Structure 1
Amino acid sequence: MKQKKTTIKDVAKAAGVSISTVSNALNDVDVLKADTKAHILEVAEKLNYVPNLNGQLLKSNRTKMLGFFTTSVSGPYFYKLVEAMAKECERLGYVLSIQITSNKSMILNHILGRRFDGNIIFEQSVFFEEEEAMLAKENIQTVYLDRKVENKTSSSVVFDSFQDGYEMTRHLISLGHKKIAFIKGFPGAYDGEERFRGFQVAMTESRLEIPEAYVLAGQFEEKASYEAVKQFIETSRVDLPDAFMAANDLSAIGCIKALKAEGYVVPDDFSVTGFDDIEIAEYFPPPLTTIRNPIARQGVVAIQQLVRQVEEQAVGKIICLEGDVVIRKSSFLKR
């Protein structure tokens, strides 16, 4: 026979108090004496009472869930980001629901259907200005990680990728490199485009040319970067560069593997640099010169800002996090 579920009425009867008094004790409302509250909580525990959270959430019009929308969570960047977001959600009393899809209709149905109290969006290939405007019009609390958006209900938490790209290029130039190739991410990606723009500005300031053949498509992926660099080395009709600057660490690793496959040695023959300082960057042979971006911090700040918007109606803003150049053995002083 199925055991009857303990109700708040049962707790009130066993504790010898009213239902409203039990409710105040369970919800930590500061109107009860300490010994009364302790007695009620002890009785509730003995009776194995489980509060009806669904009812509480319906009354407050909250789900206590935050949605994270992305087309992928593969790779070390997303591992660190998602772990940090999930832990911060738990600390703040929320649950992170990860939605991996490139189906725009499905994403909008979830968001506009108010399944979540707020949403974090990493969707370069799916969400554009039209969708951003729609969410703002519907007062959907949103934080973006892949672009700069700022309005009453929308924030962004991004890296200062332009400055990072500029500083990394200046580092290579300071080592004596004048012929620098750039391995781009996928088209339209905010961080990748900003890193490339910083590269262009630094090269222009130093009056250094960027031949069209020096701009390679790496897609932020090790394999794609490997193939792009290998094909470039084998078919290029221009002088080879003396340095490769990749839009992220995985692309830099793919580049180094391709150069090794072609018989070259890094850093003896080429300097190679990346971005993000993923865990393997420090241990990959040779250890990778890169930009250390605070990935976990980005996740924590995104959750904190979204919860402020949900609970305090905080106005959206752009939060820009700075990275640091980490110099290791993959870049060398050119003589």
Structure 2
Amino acid sequence: MVTIKDIARLAGVSHTTVSRALNDSPLINPDTKERIKALAAGLNYSPNFSARSLVLDRSYNIGLFFSTLQTGTSAGFFYEAVRGVNDIIKSQYNLVVRGIDDYKSYESITRKSFDGILVMSQSEADQPFIEHAAAKGIPLIVMNRPVENAQVMNMIPDDRGGAYRIVEYLIEQGHRRIAIIEGKESFKSTQSRREGYFDALKKHGLTVALGYRVQGNYNLESGYTAMNKLLKLPERDRPTAVFCCNDEMALGAIKAIHEKGLKVPGDMSVVGFDAQLFSGYTSPALTTVRRPIEQIGREGAARLLEGIEKKQIAKETIYFHTELVIRDSVQHISGGA
């Protein structure tokens, strides 16, 4: 097995220089770096994270932390976030994925255990974890939720604007009785999407009818259960359209509607949020909002690696656009309803 010391001996440099060159350190001359990389490739060298850690005083671990991996984190959201981060990190670091709520204390979260941390924050309950990591001097980027009182870079999708646009689209299609199936109560995204829903109704002089707000939990089952509650309303009072705060709940809602012998969008229009991969292949294809979670993951990882090398991450807030994706799950109602 080829080691860093073998490459160093053949290249006529120290093993520290080899480690830094293979890690793309800006401290190494570009020509020297390329020569060492070419030599390593020719010898089929595979990085040994433990050895590199000892040489460069790094763990070679990047942490990707979610608020929770138990309830409320949909499979699509998780997959997009991990894929985006992993696309950038690749083999440079070990990617460690955890749920913050799995930790009883944060004593193990130190500079020795993580070279940098990305937090895909969904809840304000993450704040103590974020403040702990920042206080330990770990390069830190918080994605998905705005944070204050912490020296971090913050990357935020425009959930409120996306919800506003999709509800306004329903209104433009003639809908006046629009219900909402909300997400997990403690999640910031739930609050932002609810606010966007109210913003659109208020702009167009509409109010929320009694029973039109139903709590969900960002999973299929909760969407199904919530839709069944809406379907128990007297037929004349039922909504003509339902805004589900994510695509998984929308899929559950559509199942409940079909089981009632009704059609989407013929009897009731349904829209979602997140534009998960399956949403274009449901029957009917789901009108939704594309939230660039994978892009945020890539950008967050790239900025984190840059900050690790520079030993500094700027306190900055970066916003990401959300996009309305119009498909087949909304019916136009002439004259409103």
Match of 1:134 in 2: 132
Q: Which residue matches 2:266?
A: 268
Residue 329 of structure 1, CA deviation = 0.9
Amino acid at match of 1:315: A
Deviation at 1:306, TM superposition (A): 1.8
Q: 2:299 aligns with which of 293, 298, 301?
A: 301
Aligned residues: 320
Stretch of structure 1 that moved more, 249-258 or 65-74: 65-74
Map 1:46-61 → 2, pairs under 5 A: 53-61=49-57
Cα 1:314/1:167, change in 2 over 3 Å: same
Question: Contact 1:184–1:192 (CA<8 Å) still a contact in 2?
Answer: yes
| Cα shift at 1:52 | 6.5
| Letter of the 2:87 counterpart | K
- Structure 2 residue 227 is the aligned partner of structure 1 residue 229: yes
Identity %: 26
| CA distance in 2: counterparts of 1:220 and 1:140, whole angstroms | 31
2:5 equivalent to 1:8: yes
- Verify the 8 A CA contact 1:146 1:189 in the aligned structure 2: no
RMSD: 3.2
Contact 1:150 1:316 in 2 (8 A): no
The residue aligned with 1:78 is 78
Whether contact under 8 Å (2:111, 2:138) holds in the other structure is no
1:121, 1:324 → 2: CA distance? Answer: 23
CA pair 288-9 structure 1, distance change in 2 beyond 3 A:
closer
- Secondary structure at the aligned position of 1:102 is classed as helix
In structure 2, the CA distance between the partners of 1:131 and 1:141, relative to structure 1 (3 Å rule), is same
Shift of residue 53, structure 1, vs aligned partner: 5.0
**Residue in 2 aligned with 1:180?**
178
Matched letter for residue 135 of structure 2: K
* Cα distance in 2, alignment partners of residues 105 and 190 from structure 1: 22
Structure 2 counterpart of 1:286, which letter? P
TM-superposed CA distance for 1:56, in Å, is 3.8
Task: Give CA-to-partner distance per residue, 1:233-267, whole Å, 9 cap, x none.
Answer: 12569811111001011111111111111121111
Match of 1:115 in 2: 113
- Equivalent position amino acid for 2:84 in 1: A
Show the counterpart of 1:282. Answer: 280
Where structure 1 has 5 or more consecutive residues not aligned to the other structure, the ranges are none
User: Which residue of 2 is the match for residue 99 of structure 1?
Assistant: 98
Q: Give 1 or 2 for the bigger CA radius of gyration.
A: 1
Deviations 1:175-194 (A, max 9, x none): 11111001100012122211
Corresponding letter in the other structure for 1:204: K
User: What runs of 5+ residues in structure 2 fail to find an aligned partner?
Assistant: 22-27
Corresponding position: 1:66 with 2:62:
yes
SS of the residue 1:112 aligns to: coil
Is contact 1:149–1:318 with CA below 8 Å preserved after alignment? Answer: no
Q: Which moved more, 1:181-190 or 1:51-60?
A: 51-60
Cα distance 1:118–1:153, how it changes in 2: closer, same or farther (>3 A)?
farther
